[in-house]
Structure 1
Amino acid sequence: MTSVDDGLALDLDQVATLLRQRYEQTVEQLRVQADETRNLRQTARQEPGDVADAGSLISDAAQHDIVTAALTEQAERLSAALQRLQDGSFGVCRKCGRQIAPARMEIMPWATHCIACQQAAERGR
């Protein structure tokens, strides 16, 4: 367990378990999504149908690609958070070096910036 500036504590073992579970779930969702996308594209090649069918299949494939991209990004963020747990930098803001609030880490365990630095970065976009 590690304590942070505001007196609250974050149980790193519990966080690691949660991150591993989320990572494994995300990887499984990615596998299922890839299978569905592959089946969808195979169906599109085998059953061309009419223009409306082709348009529907293209739209479905595009939606699958969007979901796959989101799941891939989530898996990468979770993997990086697990790495930060191992190297001791978990919960430390990459910009200012201060502890990230435990409440933020509970909601977004992949967070790499404290709220203030995240807001500053978003304003700068």
Structure 2
Amino acid sequence: MYENNETLEAKMLTGKSGYDLVVPGIAFLPRQIEAGAYQKVNKDLIPNYKNIDPELLKMLEAADPGNQYAVPYFSGVNTVAITAKGKELLGGKLPENGWDLLFKPEYTRKLKSCGIALWDTPSEMFPIC
């Protein structure tokens, strides 16, 4: 098990990860491929490979030219969530732009008593900024 992409990369690049299967973030994949951390995927062993959305494969091509080493596992987005207590602290009114909850002091001041939690992984947080 690994906590984040940074930890996974450190293990993969030392060549002693002990993993049979990993799910790295797309930003980390090119370096790991270049370092020889992965073997090529045998697509014949994945009967439903033909059903993968071509747009996902196209996006993956930027990190894995020819889609040789990686298979899309999932695609997602970063989201912002707020508890009922947090909404109450804001007087029941949420900003039109949800990211304002993190980046505008008028919201963070009101929410600090119940806490604001973020992932402890730079590769997920810096793109948000």
Do Structure 1 and Structure 2 share a fold, with TM-score over 0.5? no
Higher relative contact order structure (alpha carbons within 8 Å, sequence separation ≥ 6): 1
Which is helix-richer, 1 or 2? 1
User: What is the TM-score with the length of structure 2 in the denominator?
Assistant: 0.22
Q: With structure 1 as the length reference, what TM-score do the two structures score? A: 0.23
